[in-house]
Amino acid sequence: MVENTMSDQEKSKAELIEELAAARQRIKELETIEDELHLICEVLANAAGQIFWAMTPDFSRMSIINPVACDISGYPHEEFVINPKRWFELVHPDDLQGLNEAIEAHEKNGRRETQYRIIRADGEIRWILDQATTIYNKQGEPIAQAGIASDITERKEAEEFARRQRDLAVATSGASELDDALEHCMNLSMESTGADRAGIYIVNTDGSLDLIAHQGLSDKFSDVVSYYPSDSPQAEVVRKGRCYYASAGLTEENIREHCRIEGLTFVAAIPILYGNQPVACMNVGFSDIAEISETARDRLEAIAANLGGMIVRLEAERRHHDSESSMRAMLDAISESAFLVSTDEHVVLVANETAAKRFGATVEELVGQPVGDFVSEKHRLERKAWANEVTRTGKPVYEVDNRDGMILESTIYPVFDDSNEVAALAIFAKDVTEQQQAAEKIAIEQRLLRELLNLQERERMLVSHEIHDGVVQDIVAAKMFLNAACVKARAVDYEPPIEVCKVEEYLANAITEARRLIRELRPMIIEEEGVVRSIDFLVTQERESTDIRIEFRHEVEFDRIDPMVEGNIYRIVHEAVRNARRYSHGNKIEVSLVQNDGHLMIGVVDDGIGFDPNKISEDRFGVRGIRERARLFGGNACIESAENEGTKILVQLPIELTAEMIVGDQKNDSSFK
């Protein structure tokens, strides 16, 4: 009897142990599921700019809506939970009918995609792309409405700006008066950027600037800024073709007080180029803002980019309105293809050498013949239609056509006689094929490379943070626990084995090496204190790992500059110093940063064994990388070296990014923070 009782107890105990093991396994599985659910919630909560939502089929209860809805609408999360229809109450009144129709259609087909506007809590209008679907159970019954909503305001604004640009191009191409065309341009500039004032200067032959059109300026202020001599800072900015953006408080002393009285807080000056030469400048002013957005800058520069040809054409028309002899002189002076033709049979009256060569004839052979005899039937009909339109309307026609693989910009101007009748037609044509193709290719290449460098810096930063916040912390913790264990052992007169001490040493080395890797990837100091301080820190670190004497000298006026430029300067210096330390076998390295106006001269000089720059191996990317970095950021690099004569690396970089570099680059983020 006792034996049977013991056997039953042992059996019960074994069953309990088995059940306990199964329970532990189930708990572990539930913990895994809980972690996965937590991760999904985190993803939904932090979705990049997208609203994730789910509601009951009758819209009576909000099941899920992530915090992005609050960011986009400006209303607290609780309002959408308490009132499931709160989101629909934000819809713009003009879009309600379309949304209701889309919802009714959704009930039939189970899906919808709708664009509509909402009114934020602060009154701002935002465009929304709402994609929704019906979720069904296994029995085919609807159990929820779910969807994703995105803020597409920037896309809509970009589309509207593109449309306005097209309208501007049409208006200016047909404009016969410069003032009317400039008014269109200033209106678009102000409406698309929020500017309060605008003005356009013409560049005179001596480089001085004359204000020829403006909007929103007071009479007193327009008098102050109506003219800038050729040696003024304003004329110098235009002459260099650089865009200028600044707080009004940082403008030149002679107009700073006038800006304050005018109520301007931020100003911008965008040179207008024709070819590579500045012909005008568009200035805009803003009130009550300290900085304008990258989008506003892009729009101003896009508008200015389309004005150069128009201003030149209208100025040309104005200058040569009444005189055929002046037209002849101009034809001989310009490098473009240009000729004068009659209005009836379009017989060539006068032509320059460029036009004759383009038609495969001499000037003598061209003059006196109908211009249509020198082109194909298709282009003859097109040109005739354009010419007839100019004769009929008295307004110039501008066209871009692709002829036998050649891209030509052509403009036909009316030439008026004393009775203001169209007496002849002036035709200008410019071959922009190579220029356009080369510019597009170079711009795409450089933009992609700069984006790659930008991405590389981001990845370096992320990896360095991962190492710092992950691996290093774990190793430091392991070393601390090991130290604590050794202290406790010694407290009871037990000396830890030598292997334990070795482990402690290896952990210390691992911490040192990990921190070195972090500095190599992306030194934290460059984010906090700038490029000069980061290079000083780099030199200090390099001194500790070599017997070579390293000196650093800097003569700069700036404190902080664009983060992309700072990162590029640091990488150039880092690569040059590392190469000198590894390969020069010298005794001294000199590093210098010297600012000269808008440029920075970087110098890294060693007294080592030198090398032949023309015999650099293809797998040696250091020097090539320095040259490419300099080129991509609008600078140049000079490598001077010879065997046993040391090496001198000199790099000149612009301190500020040009407008072309900002487009597509800093459009994105302006820092790595």
Distances from the Cα of 624 to the Cα of 576, 628, 637, 639, angstroms: 11, 6, 10, 10
- Whole-prediction pTM value? 0.36
Mean pLDDT across the stretch 391-401?
Answer: 84
Model pLDDT, residue 170: 61
| CATH for the stretch 50-150 | 3.30.450.20
Q: What average pLDDT does the structure give for the chain? A: 79
Residues in Cβ contact with 266 at an 8 Å cutoff, skipping those fewer than 6 apart = 245, 246, 247, 248, 285, 286, 289, 290, 291, 292
629 within 8 A of 568, measured Cβ to Cβ: yes
Higher-scoring residue by pLDDT: 405, 109 = 109
Determine the CATH number of domain 525-673. Answer: 3.30.565.10
* Banded model confidence at residue 606, pLDDT cuts 50, 70, 90: very high
Q: 3-state SS of the chain: helix, strand, coil percent to 5?
A: 50, 25, 25
CATH 3.30.450.20 fits 322-429, yes or no: yes
Q: What is the pLDDT of residues 498-510, one digit of tens each?
A: 887 788 787 877 7
CATH superfamily of 157-315: GAF domain (3.30.450.40)
What is the rounded CA–CA span in Å between residue 146 and residue 667? Answer: 33
Question: Which pair of tokens denotes residue 296?
Answer: 């506003």
**pLDDT value for 617:** 66
Q: Would you say residue 138 has pLDDT above 60?
A: yes
pLDDT of 4 reads 53
8 A C-beta contact, residue 178 and residue 314: yes
The tens digit of pLDDT for each residue in 545-561 reads 888 999 999 999 888 88
Confidence at 427, pLDDT banded by 50, 70, 90: confident
- Of the given ranges (176-190, 303-317, 457-471), which has the lowest mean pLDDT? 457-471
Q: State pLDDT tens for residues 650-668.
A: 999 988 865 445 444 444 4
Percent of the chain with pLDDT over 90: 11
Dihedral sign for Cα 232, 233, 234, 239, please: positive
- Give the residue, 38 or 106, on which the prediction is more confident: 106
Spatial separation of the C-alpha atoms in residues 353 and 360, rounded to whole Å: 10
DSSP state of 374: G
Tokens, residue 529: 């204190």
> What residue type is assigned to position 304 of the chain?
A
CB 387 within 8 A of CB 341: yes
- CB of 426 closer than 8 Å to CB of 412: yes
- What pLDDT is stored for residue 665 in this prediction? 46
